[in-house]
Amino acid sequence: MKVLGLLLPVALLLGLGGLAAFFWALRNGQFDDPDGDAARILIDDDDDEE
Amino acid sequence: MTAVSLREEPTETTVLAVPGMHCAGCISRIERGLAGRPGIVSSRVNLSARQVTIEHFRSLKARDLVAELERIGFEAEPRKGALAASPSQARPLLAPLAVAGFAAMNVMLLSVSVWSGAEGSTRALFHWVSALIGVPAIAYAGMPFFRSAWGALRKRRTNMDVPISIGVVIATALSLYEVVTGGHDAWFDGALMLLTFLLAGRTLDAMMRDRARSGVDALLGHAAQGAMVVASDGSLAWKPAEALAPGTVIRVAAGERLAADGEILSGHSRFDQSLLTGESAPVAGSAGDEVLAGTLNLDAPVDVRVAATGADTKLAEIARLMEAAAQDRSKYVRLADRAARLYAPAVHTLAALTFAGWMVAGAGWHQSLVIAISVLIITCPCALGLAVPVAQVVASGALMRAGIMVKDGSAFERLARVDRALLDKTGTLTLGRPVPDPQVLDNLPREAASVALALASHSRHPLSRALAAALAARGHAATPIEDVAERPGEGVFARWSGREVALRRPEGAQGTAVRLSMDGGAVWQIPFADRLRPDCHAALAQLGELGVDLSIVSGDHARAVAEVARATGLLAQADARPQDKQDLIARLQAAGRHVLMVGDGLNDGPALAKADASIAPGSASEVGLQAADLVFVQDSLLALPRAVRAARATMRVVRQNFALAIGYNVLAVPLAIAGYVNPMIAALAMSLSSLVVVGNSLRLTRAAR
């Protein structure tokens, strides 16, 4: 049962980490333009910087 | 050097709607095309919203930016309210959904350990951890439901959110009590899973509406937002439509829409009034004639003295008719809410009776309460909450791939019941724009065609654009021409390998046409006409098979309507004013018919809003797009039967979903009342019924075929 004391916080922290990452993405505008982001990877812009 | 000047001038941000972009190529063309232009600091395309956000010097006006985008090859329209991108309805639900999902998963893990036999202090520990995760998560993720339920209760009404909120709150409170007193069962997992499933349903519903709305928003913006004002000293200045006053003189260029009603002072041109009247043939106007806001000036610039602006124009009058009709429709009660009206009282009565029954049977208040709550939880409309939105989201996704945008989920319910359809003529049965005669184009020599394409591409005149589009679609390429000159009211003139070539207006020709002349060579006359949409006959036949009676109702004059009526074999009513169309629909509705209105023009707006369901083509006027429930973007009229079929299939699946969800309740509720349901069974039953409903709805992915 001692292992629970370790595993429980680890599991919770991992989950919370995922949640925090999602909130960060939400605040950071990662969900503002899903269609555009999907299309942008196709733009070949090696020859100029932005 | 440039960096210094950048800092010197104050910048501002403008958002432009660009409906025409749809791929990665468009993004890079716009962003690269704008980069490095004088006055433009940066630009960013948002493809989902079909918008470009441009940071630019204050000296640059929105009109200059529109011209800049036109140079790149995209039509653009400034967004009103500057930065106001239409707010998303799905975004605010994402965070609660994430929290509920996270908490549900963790609590479920702990619960599984409890179910598999954790005892004593381990169980107490697990329950405490569950409570620590569950209570704040429920408080946060449940907010959308609590708020909506409270709003309904305050108005002495009930909706689906009332039983949800009561169930969740009581389950949480009892679980907390159990945890504190070291009890056997806690229901945090059930409450959280319920919230997760329901939030998923809500989010899907909101995403569907967001997607359709941004698509339609992007199509908007055909009405003139301002005019070039001629001052008394002859100078010109651009003013927005709100700043125009009666008496002002405005100059309307060819190809521009009028922003106000007025009287022509000087100039002679023809006007396309189809937006207002549905009349397809252009109306000639010269000094002294009345012209109306929203009409398109076709040929030559004219000066107009403004007589009425804003709310006094004919345009605004039609808008008022529409608003009244739209209010009628908002009284429609959605299926899910109708179900909730019956469901909520039934569930609450059942839970209360269970509690009373066990008390009478002498079970003690604690055990009675636990059993009553298990009834509440097990009957919580988890699958019911998913039954409608999942089916609608899947169906609207399928329709969107077929080029049909559904603006409102309840449109499916209304469209599925339709048994009578009224079709507008101009722009609905027909394409609503002049199309060059295909036979003449077929007979055009390849050389002449490429010259015609080159000439046409130098003009923004509607006929030139139609010709250019038709020739390009036939695989012709423009040949290089020199010394191009466009003379308003006459045509485009140029030199091609030493020969004079011209695309001009024919003198004294019947109907609409252009003449292609090549010096020392042949002359071709290319007639233009508004043609029936492709697949028109097949589409009408399919609608007939679906049991929908059809007829035409048009504002056009009898002769033009009779021609289309003959071609389609439908009954027709001509010369119908917007009010007449609305009255006709009201009469049909009074006779018990469910009416579908298909129309595009401003003159159809009131009818679109009045009908049980309405569909507009993507080329429709702003008013038409806003009033319609569905918008189809392709030319083919097959979108109509496809939409009706998809709506009926959706409602079939929704009804099956309801049956599945209620069937599950019929099985589970007796168990709950008898006291056999523990948290584990509740959790299993809940996810199983939800999965079945989702799986059943996924069959709709092929609904639009």
Percentage of residues in chain A having pLDDT higher than 90: 6
Give the pLDDT confidence score for residue B2 in this predicted structure: 44
Tell me the shortest Cα–Cα distance from A19 to chain B, in angstroms.
7
Q: Cα(B380)–Cα(B170) distance, rounded to whole angstroms?
A: 12
Judged by a CB distance cut-off of 8 A, whether residue B83 touches chain A is no
Please state the length of chain A. Answer: 50
Can you spell out the DSSP letters for B240-284? EGGG--TT-EEEE-TT-B-SSEEEEEE-EEEEE-HHHH---S-EE
A32/B46 touch (CB, cutoff 8 Å), yes or no: yes
Better-predicted residue by pLDDT, B596 or B167? B596
Q: Indicate which residue of B424, B556, B612, B629 is catalytic.
A: B424
At B1, the pLDDT band (50, 70, 90 cuts) reads: very low
Q: Which of B47, B95, B102 sits opposite A35 (nearest CB)?
A: B47
Would you call A11 and B125 a contact, using CB atoms and an 8 Å cutoff?
no
Per-residue model confidence (pLDDT) at position B324: 67
Q: Which residues of A touch B24 (CB under 8 A)?
A: 39-43
**pLDDT grade for B420, boundaries at 50, 70 and 90:** very high
A18 shares contact with chain B (CB less than 8 Å): yes
Distances (CA, A) of B406 to A34, B117, B557, B594, B644: 20, 50, 32, 19, 12
pLDDT of residue B648: 93
- pLDDT digits 0-9 by tens, B173-198: 988 988 898 877 788 888 888 888 88
- Band (pLDDT 50/70/90 cuts) for residue B683 is confident
The pLDDT value given to residue B647? 93
| pLDDT tops 60 at residue A1 | yes
The better pLDDT of the pair B229, B623 is held by: B229
d(CA B639, CA A13): 51
| Residue A50 confidence (pLDDT) above 50 | no
Query: pLDDT at position B171, please?
Result: 85
Q: Using an 8 Å CB-CB cutoff, list chain B residues near A47.
A: none
Q: Among B243-247, B315-319, B628-632, where is mean pLDDT lowest?
A: B315-319
pLDDT at B219: 47
Contacts of B86 (CB under 8 A, 6+ apart): B49, B213, B214, B217
The question of whether B233 is a catalytic residue gets the answer no
| CA B348 vs CA B121, B208, B343, B470, B681: distances in Å | 36, 32, 9, 64, 21
Which of B27, B91, B106 is the closest to A11 by Cβ? B106
Asked if the model's pLDDT at residue A13 lies above 50, the reply is: yes
- Among B49-63, B352-366, B496-510, the least confident range: B496-510
With a cut of 60, say whether residue B3 has pLDDT above it: no
**Cβ-defined contact of A36 to B95 (cutoff 8 Å):** no
Residues of B in Cβ contact (< 8 Å) with A11: 106, 109
| pLDDT for res B84 | 45
| pLDDT the model gives residue B331 | 61
Name the pLDDT band for B212 (thresholds 50, 70, 90).
Answer: low
Q: What is the pLDDT of residues B499-546, one digit of tens each?
A: 888 888 777 655 677 888 887 677 888 888 878 888 888 999 999 999
Q: What are B98's two structure tokens?
A: 């994430």
CB B76 within 8 A of CB B69: yes
Residue B678: per-residue pLDDT: 74
Judged by a CB distance cut-off of 8 A, whether residue A19 touches chain B is yes
Higher-pLDDT residue of B466 and B341 is B466
Which pLDDT score is estimated for B81? Answer: 47
Record: contact B27-A35, CB cut-off 8 A: no
State how far the Cα of B62 lies from the Cα of B66, in Å rounded to an integer.
6
**pTM for the model:** 0.70
Residue type, B608: L
| DSSP one-letter code for B332 | P
Option in A19, A36, A45 nearest B46 (CB): A36
Confidence of residue B595 (pLDDT cuts 50, 70, 90): very high
| C-alpha distance from B48 to closest chain A C-alpha (Å) | 5
Cβ-contact B418, B612 below 8 angstroms: yes
pLDDT digits (tens, 9 = 90+) for B123-178: 888 889 899 999 999 999 999 889 988 988 888 877 777 777 888 888 899 889 88
Question: Rounded to a whole number, what is the distance in Å from the CA of B351 to chain A's nearest CA?
Answer: 35
